[in-house]
Amino acid sequence: MLIHLKKPESWQTVYIHLWDEQNPEKFQTQWPGVRLKPGKDGWYTHAMKGRNHVCFVLTDGQGAQTEDYYLDKPQAWYVDGDLWTIKPDHYDFFTFPNGLKKALVMSYDDGVIQDIRLTRLFTKYGIKGTFHINSGLTGDPSKVPEDLLEPVYQGHEISMHSSTHPFLYHATEAHIRSEIYDEQQRLEKLLHHPMLGMSYPFGSYNIPMLKRMEEWGLMYGRVVPETHDFRLPGDLLRWRPSEHHNQSYAITQRFLAEEGAKLSLFLIWGHSWEFDDPNSEYNWAFMERICQQLSGHPDVWYASMGDIALYLKALESVEVSHDGHVFTNHSPRTVWVNHNGQGVALPAGKTVTYRG
């Protein structure tokens, strides 16, 4: 196993502390761990032989550290607050569907009654939202009732937010199963389509929970810390949004002006009940102005979190030759290759060669 990382600018040194979650007494480094040395292009690398899974945390040895990570892939790359299990430059070979290079996602939590107004606003402006609901709370008068879920969210994605919105950082296996797996089964039976992911209540989660989500076929999980930019998620189960809607005005102008070669993903998050505050400038009129500005741009893919997750998973399955000329699509869907700045469709199961 190989773990690569770019040192945060404020860190003087880098250590990696490792342990086996199931048998820490058999495998665990002494804090702060192994001190790493920089290699080619500023990457630090730690190699482990004879292991197929490990938990680790990165630290500067002076108090600064990352969150705990679990890795069961051959390689991982940590850069700028994100852990990638695919090389970060892999997506540079592709565009979004139909050759687009920008995508907009709106992600809103709690399934509150104000979502009725927000879904209408999104639909009016051709914007697609992902709405994270708690089915165990739909009987609350402040929530969209169960029998109105499908008509209210028609044209948008219904996603999970756990059953009853607990703090899940210290959740046991039984609690995780009750709040996530049972919720997944209930919503899929109720809505007749698969759940693709969730946003974490209070942004809280733990390593056992992420492992179970993968086992249960859930592809993404949105966290709270924001990137303040348009990067793609390095880990779909730790998907950081770009910005809360309160801070979205200035970043909206940056997004619309983007003309870079790389893919740009703008993910706005929040709660629709926030717009009801009569003392806030971030009210319904503010949100409508944001929607007006973001609406109708032919170079933007208006997508749900599920749309993005499915497409990025497909891109992960595309094999790219070392020289960047040969592409083999092992995924079950069409993807678009970035050839001389233009998106070219690559159907499922096909291999193409591009030169020049």
pLDDT tens digit sequence for 46-92: 999 999 999 999 999 999 999 999 999 999 999 999 999 999 999 99
Q: Where are the domains of the chain?
A: 2-84, 95-308, 317-353
Per-residue pLDDT at 355 = 79
How far apart are the C-alpha atoms of 271 and 118, rounded to whole Å? 10
Query: What is the arithmetic mean of pLDDT over 185-190?
Result: 98
Query: What is the arithmetic mean of pLDDT over 300-325?
Result: 97
Query: What is the arithmetic mean of pLDDT over 202-224?
Result: 96
Element (H, E) at 351: strand 351-353
Query: Into which CATH architecture does domain 95-308 fall?
Result: Alpha-Beta Barrel (3.20)
Closest CA to 89 of 218, 213, 288, 232: 232
Per-residue pLDDT at 332 = 96
Q: What is the 3-state secondary structure (H, E, C) of 195-207?
A: CCEEECHHHCCCH
Per-residue pLDDT at 255 = 97
User: Residue 93 in contact with residue 338, Cβ under 8 Å?
Assistant: yes
Residue with tokens 């639909």: 123
Per-residue pLDDT at 41 = 87
Give the chain's radius of gyration (CA, Å).
21
User: Residue 159 in contact with residue 195, Cβ under 8 Å?
Assistant: yes
User: Residue 115 in contact with residue 272, Cβ under 8 Å?
Assistant: yes
Percent of the chain with pLDDT over 90: 94
219 to 74, 104, 164, 199: CA distances (angstroms): 19, 19, 21, 11
Question: What is the rounded (10 degree) CA torsion for 247, 253, 256, 261?
Answer: -90
pLDDT-based confidence at residue 356 (cuts at 50, 70, 90): low
Per-residue pLDDT at 22 = 84
Per-residue pLDDT at 47 = 95
User: Residue 103 in contact with residue 264, Cβ under 8 Å?
Assistant: yes
Domain 2-84 carries which CATH code? 2.60.40.10
Query: What is the arithmetic mean of pLDDT over 197-216?
Result: 96
Per-residue pLDDT at 323 = 92
Residue with tokens 């989500």: 213
Q: What is the pTM of this model?
A: 0.96
Query: What is the arithmetic mean of pLDDT over 143-168?
Result: 98
**For 294, phi and psi rounded to 5 degrees?**
-90, -10
Per-residue pLDDT at 97 = 98
Element (H, E) at 186: helix 182-191
Instruction: Tally Cβ neighbours within 10 Å of residue 124.
Output: 12
Query: What is the arithmetic mean of pLDDT over 291-314?
Result: 98
Domains 2-84 and 95-308 fall in the same CATH topology: no
Q: What SS3 state is found at 159?
A: strand
How far apart are the C-alpha atoms of 322 and 233, rounded to whole Å? 23
User: Residue 133 in contact with residue 109, Cβ under 8 Å?
Assistant: no
Per-residue pLDDT at 101 = 97
How far apart are the C-alpha atoms of 311 and 333, rounded to whole Å? 8
**For 212, phi and psi rounded to 5 degrees?**
-70, -40
Question: Quick one: tokens of 58?
Answer: 């990165």
How far apart are the C-alpha atoms of 235 and 88, rounded to whole Å? 11
Average pLDDT value over all residues in the chain: 96
How far apart are the C-alpha atoms of 308 and 167, rounded to whole Å? 26
Query: What is the arithmetic mean of pLDDT over 223-227?
Result: 96
How far apart are the C-alpha atoms of 81 and 226, rounded to whole Å? 10
Least confident stretch, 22-26, 70-74, 264-268, 286-290: 22-26
How distant is the alpha carbon of residue 113 from its chain centre?
25
